[in-house]
Chains A and B, each alone.
Chain A
Amino acid sequence: QVQLVQSGAEVKKPGSSVRVSCKASGGTFTSYTFHWVRQAPGQGPEWMGWIIPILGTINYAEKYQGRVTITADRATSTAYMQLSSLRSDDTAVYYCARDQDGTGSYLTYWGQGTLVTVSS
């Protein structure tokens, strides 16, 4: 079965960077799109960006342009999201998610989430 296993919780200082990993199992890694979604405390989900590993295509929400980098390592079936210049309002649970058919149209599988806390 499909599993997305994310790295553990992080506590970061303002101005620093964080990298969250998402290891996929079940299914061919390059056949799908991988998305990153974050959710601040008490707020709704917010889509950050996606990567299509087989094409190397990456798109980011404009809000995060210049601060976020999404990558994928096909050898280890792992997707990564790095966010730089962290601020206190970046405190959130960060999720990776995968689609079902490679179109990116709907997110069927989700990781368990990674809490990133930004605090001085």
Chain B
Amino acid sequence: DIQMTQSPSSLAASVGDSVTITCRASHSISTYLNWFQQKPGKAPKLLIFAASSLQSGVPSRFSGTGYETDFTLTISSLQPDDFATYYCQQSYKIPHTFGQGTKLEIK
């Protein structure tokens, strides 16, 4: 299986800050990388697909980059609604594995 490793596992930031979360794949996955946001008791919500494409309806302060094994999710100008847990997922090879998550908390 392709292992997905996110860092950091948790992060504290303030409203208005910019933050970056990284995700590393154990094998090359081209750009088959998706980012999800999840809030307690809710299903994951797709933010970014194919490494850098913004899902419809997602604010433009979310952006993604990367290729092969190294990927980043950047959230610029954090808003109160952005404090949640973020997961990366590869869809290059079955099983479509997820990272362990990054919990973004208010400082």
> A residues near B, CB below 8 A?
35, 37, 44-50, 59, 61-63, 95, 97, 104-108, 110-113
Residue of A nearest to B100 (CB): A44
Within 8 Å CB of B91, what residues of A? 104-106
Query: Apart from A62-B95, A108-B55, what 5 extra A-B contacts exist at CB < 8 Å?
Result: A44-B101, A46-B98, A106-B46, A106-B50, A112-B43
B67 within 8 Å of A (CB atoms): no
Pick the residue among B32, B44, B55, B94 that contacts A45 (CB under 8 A).
B44
Q: DSSP majority for the A interface? A: strand
Report the bound CA distance from A113 to B87 in whole Å: 17
Beyond A95-B43, A112-B43, whether A106 also contacts B94 by CB under 8 A is no
28 contacting pairs across A/B (C-beta < 8 A): A37-B44, A44-B98, A44-B99, A44-B100, A44-B101, A45-B36, A45-B87, A45-B98, A46-B98, A47-B98, A48-B95, A50-B96, A59-B94, A61-B95, A97-B43, A104-B91, A105-B34, A105-B49, A105-B50, A106-B46, A106-B49, A106-B91, A107-B44, A108-B49, A108-B55, A110-B44, A112-B43, A113-B43
**How many B residues have CB within 8 A of the partner chain?**
23
Report the bound CA distance from A44 to B86 in whole Å: 10
Within 8 Å CB of B94, what residues of A? 50, 59, 61
Report the bound CA distance from A45 to B46 in whole Å: 13
CB B101 to nearest CB in A, in angstroms, measures 5
CB A88 to nearest CB in B, in angstroms, measures 22
* B46 with A108: CB separation less than 8 A: yes
